[in-house]
């Protein structure tokens, strides 16, 4: 599969094989995705190989289906984890004990989901809007002050 976007050409190949016995519990198939990225002038930019496993048997886990799942994973990574890491600075958080990290992650997820449901495409802009008036975040949750 070849894509041209974001100022680069990207070629991805995928190979799917039955998983070796005893590799991991419930692993039915293993796959290798190779990605070669070139600048638009043809000069190489990067080459990456990624290994993965799935519990889907090779008959149900063809290259097309695995590619859809991998792209879906990156959609989650870009829309949620990246926002939590960059916009909220989650990696630099000093909250590390007990249930507090999980609670804070849940609150960040709630904020992101509420802003996206309200139509915000930039979470950073939405957070600035929400911080300007205490009634703004409450309105996202249909709570009247």
Look at the pTM and tell me if it is higher than 0.75: no
Chain segment 3-41, per-residue pLDDT in tens: 787 788 889 899 988 888 887 888 988 899 999 999 988
Q: What is the pLDDT of residue 34?
A: 94
**Those residues with Cβ within 8 angstroms of residue 8's Cβ, 6 or more apart along the chain or in another chain:** 37, 38, 39, 40, 45
Least confident of 8-17, 41-50, 52-61, 103-112: 52-61
Total count of residues recorded for the chain: 145
For 109-144, what is each residue's pLDDT tens digit? 999 999 999 999 999 999 999 999 999 999 998 898
């Amino acid at each position: 599969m070849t894509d041209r976007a974001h100022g680069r050409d990207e070629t991805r190949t995928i190979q799917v094989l039955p998983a070796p016995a005893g590799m991991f519990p419930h692993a039915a198939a293993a796959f290798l995705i190779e990605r070669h990225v070139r600048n638009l002038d043809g000069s190489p930019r990067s080459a990456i190989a990624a290994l993965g496993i799935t519990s889907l048997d090779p008959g149900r886990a063809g290259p097309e289906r695995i590619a859809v799942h991998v792209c879906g994973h990156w959609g989650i990574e870009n829309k949620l984890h990246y926002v939590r890491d960059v916009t909220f600075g989650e990696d630099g958080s000093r909250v590390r004990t007990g249930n507090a990290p999980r609670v804070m992650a849940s609150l960040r997820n709630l904020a992101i989901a509420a802003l996206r449901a309200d139509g915000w495409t930039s979470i950073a802009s939405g957070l600035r809007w929400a911080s300007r008036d205490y009634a703004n975040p409450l309105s996202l949750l249909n709570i009247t002050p």
